[in-house]
Amino acid sequence: MSNVTDATTGAGEPMPGDNGTRTAKTENGPVMAADGRPLKQTLRRTLRREKMRALLLIAPLLIFVVVTFIVPILSMLFRSVENDIVQNTMPETVQALRAWDEQGTEPPGDEVFVPLYFDLFKASEAKEHTKLGSRLNYEQPGLSSMFRGTGRDLDDMGEEFQDVFEEIDPAFETAAFWHELLSGAGGEALLKERRDLYEALTGEEMRGDVGFTPSTEMAEMLPWTTKAYTDFAIWTAIEEEDVVAEEEPWEAVYAALGQDLRSPDTVAAIEAYSGPWSTTLKAAAENRDQLPQDSFREMFVASDKDWGSLEAWRTISLYSPPVTAGYFLNSVDLTKTVDGIAARPETQQIYLTLFQRTLIMSLIITGSCILLGYPVAWLLANLPLRTANVLMILVLLPFWTSLLVRTSAWKVLLQQQGIINEILVWLGFVDDANRLILMNNATGTVIAMTHILLPFMILPLYSVMKTVPPSYLRAAKSLGATNWTAFWRVYFPQSVPGIGAGSILVFILSIGYYITPEIVGGTSGVFISNRIAYHISSSLNWGLAAALGSILLIVVLALYWCYDRIVGIDNVKLGG
Amino acid sequence: MKLTTTLLTSTALTVAAGVAAHAQEMANDMTFVSWGGAYQASQQNAYAEPYKEMHPEVSVVWDESSNEAVAKLRAMNEAGNITWDLVDVVAADAMRLCDEGLAMEIDHDEVLADAPDGTEASDDFGDLIVSDCFIPQIVYSTTFGYRTDMVPEGVEAPNDICDVWDTETYPGKRSLEKRPINNMEWALLCDGVAKDEVYDVLATDDGQQRALDKLGEIKDDVIWWSAGADTPQLLADGEVFMGSTYNGRLFSAIVEQDQPIAMMWDAQVFDLDGWIVPAGLPEDRLARVMDFLHFATDTQRLADQAAYISYGPARASSAPMVGKHAELGIDMAPHMPTDPNNAKNTFLYNYEFWADYRDDIDAKFQAWLAQ
């Protein structure tokens, strides 16, 4: 607080004769500090400085928590709605698809397949198209191989055009022809637009000199060709670090010229054109009958017949917006259809069952922890210190043992040829042919998890019970209470905060458990966390995992809120 | 030098490999990812140790994360920090990594050694190169083992995949993997579907239901496993009569631990395991990895690995060189899944099919399990 002292006394010795004015001011306005500024302000500034210092002291921890905990959780949660991969991978297709009627009975035509070809060609050069396939495959099986397979055929589709063009005029084979024909002025906007699309596609920066600027004249006359060549130029110059003017273009550029020549306007424009390479272009336009006549749709369907299926296009269209509720719908056994939201087929409904099971079993586990933990905690709190310490070590011992070891130990105990069954058979309680099934079902999960989570119940209970003076019980009894009344009316109410704290700990921990259920739970004892783990590490459907995780988080927060309303969170004590 | 001339015409990728061969800038620390256990030990003995003898400056760290390699590589890629140099994955995962751009595409003939007779690597590995990113290493199979002492008296030991369903003749529990792959195929085979039609049937909703119904016949008798070590353990404890797992696990239970277990090879499902190189490695590390790969996937090294574990080497030229077990001195050939006596009736895992249908069928399978 040295600053405060400085501010009020140290700074600026009051000048003689100054006194009068100051007193006068004090009477009329705010209290002044020695330096003539309002005391309130000075104090606030000093306090602020103190606060900043405190903040700086905790900054390392704060930054650590934010960077390693909060940011990853938020970004994981954001994945549950994120879906921009469709738009980023095939931007122009998605745009064209907006005009298509999902409710209709016909898959889209070339107005969608033409942009699809160029989008996919670009994506397959950047090796992004299979990611999109995997994404869409979560919604409809088969789309993964459709994208992967067609990705391999894209070159061949373009080559069919290329071969014909090169036969018409060998100039088409030369890098110079394309570069000179399409270069020009005024195309900076187009160049920037294509560059931005690449950045969205790859997620990387595409800075640097391309060595090519499309000409506006060509962009009007040969729109597809100019776009395709610009894409080629950006990729060649920036990713492959080659000189654009020296490279023969992609197959897609030939396909683009073929597509342009299908438009009568373009053919007319070429006839009127008299710039460089006009003879070559005119030759191509005249011989355009020799070019492949198949529509792009026919070429795609020839590559994979699913491109012609209505269902595939409906899926693509439904999942084309950059934000989707699809993952959340999936995690509550619903699905998106063209007619709105519908229930998933019964054979695929699983998540609601698992959520329900997780909650119910967590409650059972919490309950059995209370039943087993309460007497133990009572003993610990009431035995002489030396005995209590030995017991305490027994409670803590499992805490120091690896979770996997404890769970595996339960396996040895619980299995049908295990120790418990052997003893029961030996004692004659159980028939050898009908040994108890204690594992690979819900029973196994409850037994093993109760044991593992028991210390989390005992410790808060113990610390609360320790603070209940034994004289209360004696007083109750001396006033005529029976043992039970004394316990129930006097002792128990004082231990409730311990039960509350223990229950919250056990319940929240058990809701997120997955290793123990995985090992001893079989099929009927697994939790929702097992599915989350599966989607994170096996199926790689992180969006669905994030949605399931978000729902779990919301459920826990809601339960916590209910608990606070009913019991009151102030009634929870973790320590004396 | 021949190598130098080929290098001049090769791609950027192989330039890096060539740099490796000419010992320029090479990192000396490598992190390998594998499955742990006996399998990782076999790789250590057959590949890593001999390589370290040749290059004493190199140190190798092993990470036992192969079963979640795809997820971890994806996370590393998003974080922009690839800490692994070489990752051992099953072929299906290699395809997924390749699809996602997380694994590097490999020109097998440039990167890998030729066979001793001069056959190019791509011919030597043949069809086993199922993905451009994948360098096959072993052929393993998922097959059944059973307790010899639990076969009822007077009954022939199980030798048919459908004996798994025959709980009357062979009482006792079965252990099956807690995922649809393989189980669905076996179920359809035993439901009378011809072998070459299995995947056509499985692609339809009715076929999937049919397989689940068939599995439903023994659902109450099944303990579902999720780790490869479970079945050998369950067999050793006498918890189950028969169960599926990887053949190498059963080999070590039978031969090395001398348990009363025998193999049932019928309808074993072949699968591949091999290396991938993560995409985006810095040049010096890539150079070292390529140098190691060239060494570790040659004919002799692949045959050496078979001395430690009963998995078939992926190179055709390695097969005749498979010898005896390194410690027990027994002949390894009869324990290989590819041995003609064992491979009378085999099934090949269909990668393309499962890449497409995995999520869909898995959802149905899990819902069915939860019922």
Chain A residues within an 8 Å CB radius of B367: 347-350
pLDDT tens per residue across span A481-493: 999 999 999 999 9
First and final CA of chain A: distance in angstroms? 33
pLDDT of residue B117 exceeding 60, the answer is yes
pLDDT tens per residue across span A151-203: 989 999 999 999 999 999 999 999 999 999 999 888 899 999 999 999 999 88
pLDDT tens per residue across span B84-112: 999 999 998 998 898 888 999 999 999 99
Architecture in CATH for domain B2-133+277-321: 3-Layer(aba) Sandwich (3.40)
Residues A233 and A252: their CA atoms lie apart, in Å, by 12
How does DSSP assign B44-109, residue by residue?
IIIIIHHHHHH-TT-EEEEE--GGGHHHHHHHHHHHT----SEEEEEHHHHHHHHHTT-B----HH
pLDDT of residue A567 exceeding 80, the answer is no
Of B99, B237, B362, the CB nearest to A539: B362
Matching residue, tokens 């100019």: A226
- A-interface mutation test, from B366, B368, B369, most A Cβ less than 10 A away: B366
**Ranges of each domain in chain B:** 2-133+277-321, 142-271+340-370
Angle at B105 between CA B102 and CA B109, to 5 degrees: 155
Distance to chain B for A228, nearest Cα, Å? 23
At B357, list the tokens.
């249908």
Residues B71 and A539: their CA atoms lie apart, in Å, by 9
Picking from A495, A465, A453, the residue whose alpha carbon sits closest to that of residue A361 is A453
Q: Which domain holds residue A73?
A: 2-78
For B62, list phi and psi in degrees, rounded to 5.
-105, 140
pLDDT tens per residue across span B147-171: 999 999 999 999 999 999 999 999 9
At B339, list the tokens.
């041995």
Chain B residues within an 8 Å CB radius of A305: none
In a shared domain, residues A406 and A524: yes
pLDDT of residue B6 exceeding 80, the answer is no
Residues A123 and A83: their CA atoms lie apart, in Å, by 17
Ramachandran area for residue A256 (φ above 0: left; ψ -120 to 50: alpha; else beta): alpha
In a shared domain, residues A160 and A62: no
- A229-245 mean pLDDT: 92
Superfamily of domain B142-271+340-370 in CATH is: Periplasmic binding protein-like II (3.40.190.10)
Distance to chain B for A405, nearest Cα, Å? 15
CATH number at residue A395: 1.10.3720.10
Matching residue, tokens 């000179």: A180
For residue B338, what is the DSSP state? Answer: T
- A244-268 mean pLDDT: 93
Residue A304 lies in a domain: yes
Of B74, B223, B367, the CB nearest to A540: B74
Instruction: Please determine, for the modelled complex, whether the ipTM score is greater than 0.85.
Output: no
pLDDT of residue B324 exceeding 80, the answer is yes
β-strand pairing of B135-147 with B242-246: antiparallel
Residue A346 lies in a domain: no
pLDDT of residue A66 exceeding 70, the answer is yes
The reply to whether B142-271+340-370 shares the fold of B2-133+277-321 is yes
Band of pLDDT at residue A27, cut at 50, 70 and 90: low
At A567, list the tokens.
């019991």
At B160, list the tokens.
């048919």
pLDDT tens per residue across span A88-134: 999 999 999 999 998 888 999 999 999 999 999 999 998 889 889 98
Residues A356 and B270: their CA atoms lie apart, in Å, by 39
In a shared domain, residues A30 and A124: no
State how far the alpha carbon of A114 is from the alpha carbons of A93, A158, A262, A499, B235, in Å: 8, 12, 12, 67, 59
Q: Which residues contact A38 (CB under 8 A, 6 or more apart)?
A: A29, A30, A31, A32
- A291-318 mean pLDDT: 93
Amino acid at B223: I
Residues A536 and B69: their CA atoms lie apart, in Å, by 11
pLDDT at residue A2, rounded to an integer: 40
- B-interface mutation test, from A538, A539, A541, most B Cβ less than 10 A away: A538
For residue A13, what is the DSSP state? Answer: P
Are residues B331 and B324 in contact, defined by beta-carbon separation less than 8 angstroms? yes
In a shared domain, residues A377 and A493: yes
Residue A171 lies in a domain: yes
Residues B66 and B69: their CA atoms lie apart, in Å, by 5
